[in-house]
Amino acid sequence: MTTVRRGATALAATAVLLAGGAGAVAPAAHAAPSPAPSPSAPAVPAGLYGAKDPTYDGVWRQSLAFMAQQATGVEPAGQAVAWLLDQQCDDGGFPSFRADTAGDCPAGKPLDTNATAVALQALKGVDSHEDRTRQAREDATAWLKRVQNHDGGWGYNPGSPSDANSTALVVSALAAVGEEPGSVRAAGGKSPYDALLTFALPCSAKPGGGAFAYQPEKDGTLRANDDATAAAVLAGLGKHALVRGVTPDQEPTCVDAAKPTAERAARNGAAHLAAAVAKTGHLDLPPMPGTTTTAAQPDVGNTADAALSLAAAGHREAATRAVTWLEGNSAAWAKEGGPAAYAQLVLAAHTAGADPRAFGGADLVAQLNATGPKPASTPDTRDRGEAEKEETAKKEEESGFPVWLLVAVFLVAGIGVGFLLSGRGGKRKP
């Protein structure tokens, strides 16, 4: 799903666009998941996860927190759900954050496809405010469809050029709420998958074969971007951030096809990520624009994204390698990043089959919960029957064999044995 830092990157991307003029490309996210507070920053409202300035990532980090809680059986506080619902504008879109929610969003308030997409997915799994959440999801879905670009994709804000990250995030959100992303077509007939394919590098590209670019550069060149690749892999497979890893393991392969499909491009992207994490267990940050530093720095956030996408693609060995590295190297990053960072690690662990409650010696779920309002319920406080149902569903999902059918088989077998014993007993009667 995605990198949790994308919301906070809006400011950095805007600065690059202003400095570079038209056609400048937003770099991969280098900012912390939540921007540091400034003297003019709005007060952090009650109900919001995290204590840092929410201007650029309030909706984002709240939504990611909900998604991670859903993956671990935690129900967020009603106050937290109400906060997210209040952020939505009357037309269905979400801004990155708005401090005044007394009325509708003011004219000219920038709306955010990324925030809207993650809010849509997050609200699917909460229990409180049922009528409001249902309506909010319907409105958000309709809004995303209305602002789809002619090429089938989405940009960060409505009307901006499509990029791989935003397009992939919307696709995954639509898939999460039961839509068929391939059927969501722009006025010209193009689908989101048509847009995703325009960002895919061929396997023969050097460097970055099989990866995805964020956007084409001014001359049309595609430059590999691991953040975009991780998001596009998930979307190209028609999956979302709460998916579980595929078994059995599949070998990563990169194959150029005469008529590529989104799935083939996604698998090529997964092969690129698998090769990247095979070296050190982590991905590296690309150099910041304007710097001459050549020493590679680990990119914790994108490594978590890659682990999730690799597991979703069935590359468990590569995903496990990344998760193992994260268990030993992500604690300081998560503490600084706050709720969105903890959520990203929880989601990666969930998909890759690791335990987020024992992640490198830390309970990520407890750490996430501590950044916001006390949850309405946790696995320890839920009804035991509900927990047993979830455990049964989990076993069915992992085994591919419905437990009810297994029980039925044993019952039928028992009936047969009963008849057999009855028959034998009858023969023994004098």
**Helix, strand, coil share (%) of the chain residues, nearest 5:** 50, 5, 45
The helix/strand/coil state of 173 is: helix
* Tokens describing residue 128: 């409180």
Q: Where are the alpha helices (DSSP H) in 1-129?
A: 9-20, 58-71, 78-87, 113-124
- With 0-12 / 13-18 / 19 or more C-beta atoms within 10 angstroms meaning exposed / middle / buried, residue 405 is exposed
Residue 257 neighbours by CB distance under 10 Å? 11
Write the DSSP symbol of residue 183: G
* Rounded-to-integer distance, Cα 229 and Cα 269, Å: 6
pLDDT of residue 106: 95
| 297, β-bridge pairs | 285
* Rounded-to-integer distance, Cα 109 and Cα 107, Å: 6
pLDDT of residue 420: 34
Query: Taking phi first (over 0 means left), then psi (-120 to 50 degrees means alpha), and beta for anything else, what does residue 232 get?
Result: alpha
Report the C-alpha dihedral over residues 8, 10, 15, 21, rounded to 10 degrees: 160
pLDDT of residue 390: 59
Residues of the chain with pLDDT under 50: 1-7, 9-33, 384-385, 398-401, 403-430
Q: What is the CA radius of gyration of the chain?
A: 23
Our CA angle for 115, 119, 123, nearest 5°, is 180
The helix (run of H) or strand (run of E) holding residue 322 is helix 316-329
On whether the pTM is more than 0.85, the answer is no
Query: pLDDT tens digits for 208-253?
Result: 999 999 999 999 999 999 999 999 999 999 999 999 998 888 999 9
Instruction: Convert 225-254 to b/e letters by CB count within 10 Å (16 or more is b).
Output: bbbbbbbbbbbbbbbbbbbbbbeeeeebeb
